[in-house]
Amino acid sequence: MSERLTPLYELHKELGGKLVPFAGWQLPVRYQSAKEEHEAVRSAAGLFDVSHMGEIWVTGAEAEKALNFLTCNDVTKLSDGKALYSAILNERGGVVDDIIIYRFSLDRFLICVNASNSEKDYEWLQSKNRFEAEFVNESDRWGQIALQGPKSASIVASLPGGEVIAALKRFRFFEAELGGIKIIAARTGYTGEDGFEFFTAWGETADLWSALLNAGKDFGLVPCGLAARDSLRLEACYPLHGHELSEDYTAFESGLAWIVKLDKGDFIGRSALLAENERGSIRKLTPFFVEDAGIVREGAAVFSTAGDPIGVVTSGTHTPTVNRALGLAMVKSEYSKEGAVFEAEVRGKRLQCKAASSPFYDATKSK
């Protein structure tokens, strides 16, 4: 076994987690039923080990300028204690990684990056930076736990020090103590539900996990694995690096236009995206439902009803809350409009699919 272990590895085994390799780590794909874990997050709460995610500090007099050049969202819109979803792009406008930027002060930022990317991102940021800023990769020092679901705030509030954390607004964070453990608490997540993400020292992560799991017992909190995380994010139409996001798809094609601020000044990828903005994108990430019986998965080739190849499925499964076979596909732009019909090939058969509107699931409308 060459994968790395998170600080919760022993706890996952004790909890009956089915451990699998993921992005270079051993992580639980599920504990008991992935469907029940998914449903718990929609109706109560779920706890996720996201310690594999990377943490990179950006400090220095020009840290803000550096991040505004190295990522596509407008970092100057942040104030202390606010977080921002952004992306690191290549010169072609392709996505190197999607990240969250946390501003501690004008000269001190934390960025949270995808697990398999922390080394690559760290080297990329250092090599492309032209401002007075320093980068420190502390991915090995930080564990991370996500608490997600409508009961999250109540669970946090029930722990010593939790009330002030429960009062955080969305995309705000601060350095806090929860149950006597020093953490960075952020009101963010990747499930389409309300919730929190907590950073804590590697060695304290297991204590934080146990404290949360214990506090959540009376609220229906369950530990959740990668399968639930994937079906939850897919229903919310959140793109996943290595699936929807890659250096070969531009930020516009991948549906990240809302975090691309062409007017903020120069940044890596801007000129390519300006040109794409002028001429229009040739393909677009498109949510779809499968109309025929069957499940369409990542990698399935997509065809027009006339039989012409028009793209590829980037993620697809049958999800519990929406309770249908659905997915995301990168297809020629003319097929991205809601209601457009196309076909995906599964084991030699072509299943009819229909372009849907994003997201499949919206917590604010469903409750």
Could you write out the DSSP letters of every residue in 255-274?
T-GGG--GGG---TTHHHHH
Shortest gap between Cβ of 20 and another protein (angstroms)?
9
Strand-strand pairing, 45-49 and 221-223: parallel
Q: Is 35 in the site for another protein (CB under 8 A)?
A: yes
Q: Is 23 in the site for another protein (CB under 8 A)?
A: no
> Given candidates 5, 23, 29, 166, which one binds another protein under the rule CB under 8 A?
29
Based on the number of CB atoms within 10 Å of its own CB, is 130 exposed (0-12), middle (13-18) or buried (19 or more)? exposed
Instruction: Using the minimum distance from each CB to another protein, give the nearer residue, 295 or 301.
Output: 295
> Given candidates 191, 231, 286, 314, which one binds another protein under the rule CB under 8 A?
231
C-alpha dihedral (354, 358, 361, 367), degrees to nearest 10: -130
Tell me which stretch binds another protein (CB under 8 A): 47-55, 129-137, 184-192, 313-321: 313-321
Q: Is 347 in the site for another protein (CB under 8 A)?
A: yes
Q: Is 68 in the site for another protein (CB under 8 A)?
A: no
Instruction: Using the minimum distance from each CB to another protein, give the nearer residue, 231 or 286.
Output: 231
Tell me which stretch binds another protein (CB under 8 A): 25-33, 77-85, 101-109, 138-146: 25-33
> Given candidates 4, 5, 33, 174, which one binds another protein under the rule CB under 8 A?
33
Alpha carbon distance 98, 109 (integer Å): 16
Instruction: Using the minimum distance from each CB to another protein, give the nearer residue, 35 or 350.
Output: 35
Give the total of residues touching another protein (CB under 8 A).
Answer: 18
At 42, list the tokens: 């929609």
Tell me which stretch binds another protein (CB under 8 A): 30-38, 44-52, 250-258, 354-362: 30-38
E strands, 94-211, are 95-105, 108-113, 134-137, 142-148, 173-178, 181-186, 195-201
DSSP conformational letter for 70: H
DSSP conformational letter for 300: -
> Given candidates 99, 251, 325, 356, which one binds another protein under the rule CB under 8 A?
325
At 195, list the tokens: 């919730």
Consecutive H or E run containing 116: none
Q: Is 92 in the site for another protein (CB under 8 A)?
A: no
Shortest gap between Cβ of 346 and another protein (angstroms)?
8
> Given candidates 108, 120, 318, 354, which one binds another protein under the rule CB under 8 A?
318
What Rg value do the Cα atoms of the chain yield, rounded? Answer: 20
At 361, list the tokens: 């699931």
Alpha carbon distance 293, 305 (integer Å): 17
Positions in the binding site for another protein (CB under 8 A): 29-30, 33-35, 227, 230-231, 293-295, 297, 317-320, 325, 347
